[in-house]
Amino acid sequence: MRCRAVDNHLKNGLKVGIGSGSTIVFAVQRIAQKGLDVICVPTSFQSKQLIRDNGLRLSDLEECPQLDVTIDGADEVDVESLVLIKGGGAALTQEKIVASASKELIIVADYTKESLDLGQKWTKGLPIEVIPMAYKVVIDKIEKSYKGTAVLRMAKAKAGPVVTDNGNFIIDWIFPAKVGNEKRDIKYWSELNTNIKMITGVVETGLFIGMTSRVYFGQNDGSVTTFPKQ
């Protein structure tokens, strides 16, 4: 599906945002394999190295503040609203900035990320980047106002918390499951996103709303499904 996404949306001369994570690696390899002459803007340290390692042209948002397309992965995709959860790799803020500078955001993911109700597939919580000194204040406010459980993400091969490429911390908020027939549409996620972002100390949330043009899901049998349906 990474090949399909690259083949369908990228061509010579485009300015391309390059996402972060494990899935995007295959898309970047496809760009290199095809010898596409594109200018690449990274979304993380990992993404920058990926661009370099594949011999692609590296740029930044200062040089290229307007991008044609960004290609990225996701942790969960609501296929009705095309709202995404991202930030499992703590790269959400730069990813969202780069996506916001792009005309199109193309998502590549495997079938395990396909969802009809966010939080069902990605159960580790909504990633929220915060200024370090504010983390406890933000956790308390989120839990008090919106319930659920919010925790500071701890590093695996380092003592203490995960530190983002921006020098901040990540809170993972396991938000409450929806009640009955409650409709969690784009309006619901937009309002929630705005409210969380208004908490002082919050830098960005992993909710990507109204940004995605197309999602490619790789299925178990090797086939690819896309949303919105063509």
Ligand X SMILES: O=C[C@H](O)[C@H](O)[C@H](O)COP(=O)(O)O
> Beta-carbon neighbour count of residue 162 at 10 Å?
17
- Retrieve residue 172's tokens: 């993972």
Closer residue to ligand X, CB minimum distance, 79 or 137: 79
Tell me the closest approach of the beta carbon of residue 19 to ligand X, in angstroms.
Answer: 5
- Retrieve residue 22's tokens: 């494990």
Closer residue to ligand X, CB minimum distance, 26 or 188: 26
Closer residue to ligand X, CB minimum distance, 68 or 204: 204
Backbone angles phi, psi at 28, to 5 degrees: -65, -40
Tell me the closest approach of the beta carbon of residue 89 to ligand X, in angstroms.
Answer: 3
Tell me the closest approach of the beta carbon of residue 159 to ligand X, in angstroms.
Answer: 22
Closer residue to ligand X, CB minimum distance, 20 or 115: 20
Which of 62, 76, 80, 95 is an active site residue? 95
Query: By Cβ distance, which residue is nearest to ligand X?
Result: 21
Please give the residue ranges that form the binding site for ligand X (CB under 6 A): 19-23, 72-75, 86-92, 95
Tell me the closest approach of the beta carbon of residue 171 to ligand X, in angstroms.
Answer: 14
Secondary structure, 3-state, the chain = CHHHHHHHHCCCCCEEEECCCCCHHHHHHHHHHHCCCCEEEECCHHHHHHHHHCCCEECCCCCCCCEEEEEECCCEEECCCCEEECCCCCCHHHHHHHHHCEEEEEEEEEHHHEECCCCCCCCCCEEEEECHHHHHHHHHHHHHHHCCEEEECECCCCCCECCCCCCCEEEEEECCCCCCCCCCCHHHHHHHHHHHHCCCCEEEECEECCCEEEEEEECCCCCEEEECCC
Tell me the closest approach of the beta carbon of residue 211 to ligand X, in angstroms.
Answer: 12
| Residue 191 annotated to the active site | no
> Beta-carbon neighbour count of residue 58 at 10 Å?
15
Closer residue to ligand X, CB minimum distance, 90 or 139: 90
Active site residues: 95
